[in-house]
Amino acid sequence: MNFIKKFKNKHVFNQESKDELPKFKNNDLVRYRIVFSGIVQHVGFRFEAEQMAVKLQLTGWVKNLANGTVEMEIQGSDKKIDSLLQYMNSLKWIEIDRMSKDPLLVLHGEKNFDVRQ
């Protein structure tokens, strides 16, 4: 198990150093509840989402659901959230078949993005 974790960490570090983020203007904060279906569990989905959300300075959380989907609440600018979603769709080992995106009220004072169990 440690081998897999070290391999993932090395891959993400190498990948992050290659990624250049677009320049974003400060926009109004929005928050969404997004549910992802497809090959989204046991493939590093939550870990990848967390790494990119932190990089993009988004807040919220992500967790696996018992029915095999992944649920996320994400907050930030629409452009940054769209950038995270495009990134997740670009990963070859993750296959998002369906995504529902519902607006929520902004949570003022939220500072982190977390992986929940």
State yes or no: pLDDT of 4 exceeds 90.
no
Please say whether the structural domain 28-104 has been given the CATH code 3.50.50.60: no
Stated pTM of the model: 0.78
Mean pLDDT, residues 46-52 taken together = 97
pLDDT (tens digit, 9 = 90+) per residue, 73-100?
Answer: 999 999 999 999 999 999 999 999 999 9
In the chain, domain spans: 28-104
Residues annotated as catalytic are 46, 64
Handedness of CA 10, 11, 12, 17 (dihedral sign): positive
Cα–Cα distance, 63 to 115 (Å, whole number): 6
Query: What per-residue confidence (pLDDT) applies to 60?
Result: 98
